Structure 1
């Protein structure tokens, strides 16, 4: 008995559902992919097309050079990304880390876009090289920003998401300016596994195999990271070097895939998460089953994309769209069991904050009002013409108002709404890095607009605005269901917003691949093209904003008490759950009102409350007032610059705001981490 007690513990048993699910996934994916070919070829011929074909049978030739390499490359890439995702999660001790959420795939696409425009010779030399450079840039930024916080899960995900937003905005800016050169590039970037020969597979498999073997060789050293950095170092592991080496291999794997087939989103996240949910406990189990599940998931997603393209009007449905739609629910399942949403063990949960000197809200508000008025006057009067810049006389402003007034008024009001919504959310969650854009509410409105355009439904501008509002409300409802069990805690809301972003991203990629003038108009709206706004819409937004502002007085007490903590707020008579729900509803209405005007990807909701804090406004009421004025001023400037910078062409105002806001977010995150 004593000997039995001293026996070394065995590794956790592998649940039977894990291999069963993997086998069923592969069988279903292979059967669904082969089903159309079984109608014209016998089963043995379908299997044999992977290595030979019947030259007298056109169907056999087509299957050999089109279907078989597509299945093979889907399995190869899926396995590679699944393995890369599992290694990333082990290195960062973060169950939501992946090449996608860390911005690696967006960085790879950014590298290819920049090389296409400015250094096409590099693409001729090696398309992998530029993609790897972009991926290294993205993950390097994430590591630099989150190093001081010990790779806190929420901080890493937020940094990676914002870098993805930022690089996506840069890519979209290039597309809007150089669309005639980059149109096909963005069809590729949406993620397509369509093949017409075996050459891409033959080029790719040695790279995937070598990189996969290198990642597997790191398995034993990576196991030491489970003990913590101090313990691993005491056992002789060079933790920093190990992490850097593993992440470089992950970037090489992901960027190589991106350079060949575009962004097949979230396989590297969905496969390891699914392996954990099905019972993979040890690192060896996670690496093995994440690899196998990744292959099955990507083949299933690619089959669904092929079916959708065939059953539709013939338009290409990117594989990146279907992988995002499959990955989204898996992320939602993972979030329900993700407990440590604030910080890693041993890390300070509340880094020191910058507290500037208090200043009079009357003085600050007056200065912002003067600046806003000056911006309004300059925007209405000083503009470029066909030959030179000129001042429009005040007597002619009634004519100029038709072209400049509604968009300017709508931009100011959208900035006010986002400033107020951002202040509400940051106060409610206690997270100064939160913003309406990161909660997925804007994404819900955008996704409905995508569906309307893709289905060809003609409902007019008013109908589109109403549908976008319903989409925001639907996203809010889903967000409430996600966060209700956590009493609407701040970081759970942010991670729920990440899951909603997955669905919005799939819609965006579908639009980019569909092309056409309608898609171009929709993309312009998504990045805040204020020239689409009519006078009626601007006045309607004005009325809605005034009504909401009148009701904000009721939020001052709840927001003040929530800052004391749930226990103290409850003891003072505040129903915490219901208060957070009411504040979230109000923030959602403000966000939806702004989204239908300025698009979903602006960061004004983040910047405006920060500016109010920097300007010395600490109390709730003062910060809300200054946030509203600052938001209006920011978007008024963005609208004016968007109209004049590249005249006679125009940029979407929301795109400029997103670029500036992304830079500000990353700067603020690095400052936040200094403690």
Structure 2
């Protein structure tokens, strides 16, 4: 049996535009011109030949030219060509124009494997960083296929699975880096995708990999070209699909993970290069191989040269810049994917008991939430081990534990409520504040506030974050209107917005602006700085938003029935959708200020409430608020006690707890039945 694929011709999604062919020489010449200007500014041209072949060890400029500047210029097009080659192979094998090492989780898997091996099994690195990265990338890709589910599935489901795997693995790697910052300082810099070089070793290795990968791709090109037709047609021609696909995937994995092992994560080059190749008129697979490699080389070279001349306090890692560019491209492509890619829609499945209230279960949920609250306040660790704090001890610890517990519970409750609102508004079980880009939009709003406002207080931060969240959600919904809110396309657009906002956030953080210093701990979801007044404000917002959200119950019951039915019943679509949007945005922004931009609690809690039988709007809102609050409080307690006396960021722990649930939910929602 071959790997799961769906027929998806290139012409169905990105029509070739030969008029764009002149872009390649322009990009190449621009990159070359900037590189030569950079060399000229560091070393006189009269010394270039000597610095290249026989640098004077007493001249620091010649040594820098030979060992740092020139290797960086050379390795950029080599790495870009490798990633472009890997991207076009992955897209051909999966027949998916959105596939690349980043969107499929391969880069995140390779990076996480290297981080884990560096800490826990450094002996594995004796076999080579490339081998460790290859194993990590292969495991991540296997998880993506398992999460997407079934033998046939939509390409968008594969991409969503890849992005969820990337977020989950990224959270795990971030936790390891935070815990071992002193040991992983170099790795922390490298993981952002840096082309800084200290010799020619990486350039030589990647050049060999490029030649070998190009030769392998050329040998498979004729066979892989047959995959442009349906599976049945390929089999009728005697094409061994399983062997061809497995071999091509191995080549793509080897190419992409070697780049990660050498340079870090350079996101989305494998997505941009094949897309540019199509627009340049490359129609056959052989043409796309050639053009994608050239465009990958030009794109990465030009990006790297641009980041070196930006007037910032410190140089932005090249990988951060490519992530921003690629996320914007992914956002554009998500709206142009052919209709065949979104024909299978996930849907809510309800049983015959969905409309009944479950007071007994609700009381049990309330009891569990109360038990979690008491446990988080009374149970802790000290030098002697685990202990239940007495009332006298608690009087001394109250100001440390109670605000943090209250803020965490409030944040989880608001994320749960926002998740219910979004899933019912869109009719999409995968809709959540984190996945639809709302949390990432809140982070952008907060960054803008910190950069433009002379003073910042609690009210202004909530307003700015809410505005950013509302704008992000509005953008996703406006994009979704063009496809009648098709579930998969809406979710992919949201993930694209979230990725773009996260890239912009990373770009702002990499600028070195001192006004963004407090953003580091907040982005990881740290609650240790919550004050009693901040906790009281969070609880107040959660308490106010719950009845406000309940007032939208009638709208949420009617909107999923469709525009015609809602209009017939006299519902004002614009006013109702805007009201729900504002409530969800305010809840998400307030929670994001406490727990950080990514937790998956807003995706997990509504489904747990539904599994417990709460299917009507108001009971589900109440139950989900309790479940979300309990989950976030549990994550905060684990973050506080797991590695005492050190602490983990709450947001990272919540992501690690809820991430596997999100992948399992994706598999259930997008599973295709076997023919």
What's the TM-score once normalised by structure 2's chain length?
A: 0.89
Matches within 5 A, 1:93-104: 93-104=95-106
1:423 equivalent in structure 2: 420
Structure 2 unmatched runs, 5+: 1-13
1:385 equivalent in structure 2: 382
Matches within 5 A, 1:170-209: 170-209=172-211
Secondary structure, counterpart of 2:561 in structure 1: coil
Matches within 5 A, 1:396-545: 397-447=394-444, 459=456, 464-486=461-483, 488-506=485-503, 522-545=519-542
Pairing 1:616–2:618 present: no
Q: 1:388 to 1:88 in 2, by over 3 A?
A: closer
1:321 equivalent in structure 2: 320
State whether residues 368 and 633 of structure 1, in contact with CA within 8 Å, keep that contact through their aligned partners in structure 2. no
1:5 equivalent in structure 2: none
Q: Deviations over 1:260-295 (max 9, x none)?
A: 000011111122223334544433333222221111
Q: Deviations over 1:80-115 (max 9, x none)?
A: 111211221222222211110110000010110111
Counterparts of 2:637 and 2:20 in 1: how far apart (Å)? 56
Secondary structure, counterpart of 1:197 in structure 2: coil
Q: 1:297 to 1:560 in 2, by over 3 A?
A: same
Counterparts of 1:640 and 1:517 in 2: how far apart (Å)? 31
Aligned length: 657
Q: 1:457 to 1:394 in 2, by over 3 A?
A: same
Deviation at 1:133, TM superposition (A): 0.5
Q: Deviations over 1:223-263 (max 9, x none)?
A: 22221222222222222332222222111111000000000
Deviation at 1:356, TM superposition (A): 8.2
Q: 1:75 to 1:458 in 2, by over 3 A?
A: farther
Secondary structure, counterpart of 1:384 in structure 2: strand
Q: 1:225 to 1:584 in 2, by over 3 A?
A: farther
Counterparts of 1:331 and 1:214 in 2: how far apart (Å)? 28
| Deviation larger for 479-488 or 447-456 | 447-456
Counterparts of 1:73 and 1:151 in 2: how far apart (Å)? 37
Pairing 1:562–2:549 present: no
| Deviation larger for 427-436 or 126-135 | 427-436
Counterparts of 1:226 and 1:577 in 2: how far apart (Å)? 43
State whether residues 91 and 222 of structure 1, in contact with CA within 8 Å, keep that contact through their aligned partners in structure 2. yes
State whether residues 434 and 597 of structure 2, in contact with CA within 8 Å, keep that contact through their aligned partners in structure 1. yes
Deviation at 1:633, TM superposition (A): 1.4
| Deviation larger for 28-37 or 332-341 | 332-341
Deviation at 1:197, TM superposition (A): 1.9
Q: Deviations over 1:546-589 (max 9, x none)?
A: 33222223322232223334444444444556644443333222
Counterparts of 1:14 and 1:547 in 2: how far apart (Å)? 53
Secondary structure, counterpart of 1:180 in structure 2: coil
Q: Deviations over 1:420-476 (max 9, x none)?
A: 111112222222122210111211233455678899987466655554344334433
Deviation at 1:513, TM superposition (A): 6.8
Deviation at 1:599, TM superposition (A): 0.7
Counterparts of 2:388 and 2:415 in 1: how far apart (Å)? 31
Q: Deviations over 1:104-158 (max 9, x none)?
A: 0000101101110111122133110000000000011111222416241221111
Secondary structure, counterpart of 2:67 in structure 1: helix
Pick one of 60, 68, 71 that aligns with 2:70: 68
Deviation at 1:387, TM superposition (A): 2.2
1:340 equivalent in structure 2: 339
Counterparts of 2:15 and 2:653 in 1: how far apart (Å)? 53
Deviation at 1:72, TM superposition (A): 1.4
Counterparts of 2:217 and 2:514 in 1: how far apart (Å)? 45
2:7 equivalent in structure 1: none
Counterparts of 2:429 and 2:51 in 1: how far apart (Å)? 55
Secondary structure, counterpart of 2:380 in structure 1: strand
State whether residues 414 and 635 of structure 1, in contact with CA within 8 Å, keep that contact through their aligned partners in structure 2. yes
Counterparts of 2:235 and 2:242 in 1: how far apart (Å)? 9
Pairing 1:256–2:253 present: no
Counterparts of 1:49 and 1:620 in 2: how far apart (Å)? 75
Secondary structure, counterpart of 1:390 in structure 2: strand
1:588 equivalent in structure 2: 585
Pairing 1:366–2:363 present: yes
Q: 1:513 to 1:563 in 2, by over 3 A?
A: closer
What's the TM-score once normalised by structure 1's chain length?
A: 0.89
Counterparts of 1:39 and 1:343 in 2: how far apart (Å)? 51
